[in-house]
Structure 1
């Protein structure tokens, strides 16, 4: 039914649990996976006249976020490989994660977006998370929203 599923992650424990469920779902469908981490774009400090020496350069920031993104998507890539599924990990930069998720899904030919009902901003919200809600509003392809029954214990890693 689905050939290529985009699974989002923000690196949180909740997102990791959702990603595991996404890999399980992709296995049932026999689908390829695109694991996606959307990093915030570089922000110049606007509150000072000069950039402090300790503030990272744009190149340093981009490299650090690429490394963080790789760490966040790698468990999805590894889980897919253990199940014999093809999976690509991708880190992109955007001001609006939701719009970037929709854009990447369309550009990469995904036919389903699999994401959690809440991410980092999480469990204090009564309704869907803001990113999930925006993806649902803007996506032209199906979005499967996975909801955890209970909040996972924080990781000790």
Structure 2
């Protein structure tokens, strides 16, 4: 049914739990897995006139976030490999994680976006915002939302 599934992760415990469920789902479908970590764009400190010497350069920031993103992707990619799935990982940069997830799903010809949800409702959802809700409203692709009722152990 699905050939290529994008699994989005932010490195949180909820996201790792969701990614494991996504790999299992992909295995059931016999689908390829693309794991995506979206890091924020580099921000220049606009609140000071002179950039402090300890503030990372844009190049240092990009290298560091590639490393951090790779660390978040690694266990998910290892799980996909152990499951015998074709897999790849990508660290992307964007100010809007939701829009970048949608764009990557389109660019990489993914059939499905697999994401998590904390299961918050009411004011918690409104105040915190939700990347998942934004993805749902910005894509024409199917989105499978893995909802957690209870926070997983770290």
1:137 lines up with 2:137 in the alignment = yes
Match of 1:79 in 2: 79
The 3-state SS of whatever aligns with 1:125 is helix
**1:63-94 alpha-carbon deviations (Å, 9 max, x no partner):** 00000010011111100000100110100000
Match of residue 32 from structure 2 = 32
Between structures 1 and 2, the one with greater helix share = 2
- Check conservation: 1:118, 1:129, Cα contact below 8 A: no
TM-fit CA distance, 1:129: 5.1
Aligned partners of 2:71, 2:49: CA distance in 1, in Å?
34
Structure 1 residues 27, 129: CA separation in 2 closer, same or farther (over 3 Å shift)? farther
Which ranges of 4 or more aligned residues in structure 1 deviate by more than 4 Å? 126-129
Aligned twin of 1:125:
124
Task: Give yes or no for contact 1:118–1:132 (8 Å, CA) kept in 2.
Answer: no
Deviation at 1:149, TM superposition (A): 2.8
Q: Which secondary structure state, in structure 2, belongs to the residue aligned with residue 73 of structure 1?
A: helix
Return 5+ residue gaps in structure 2 as ranges.
none
What residue number does 2:150 align with? 150
TM-score by length of 2: 0.94
**Match in the other structure for 2:48:** 48
In the other structure, the counterpart of 1:66 is 66
Residue 126 of structure 1 and its aligned partner are, at CA, apart by 4.5
How far, CA to CA, are the matches of 1:152 and 1:94 in structure 2? 27
Instruction: Give the stretch that moved more between structures: 145-154 or 70-79.
Output: 145-154
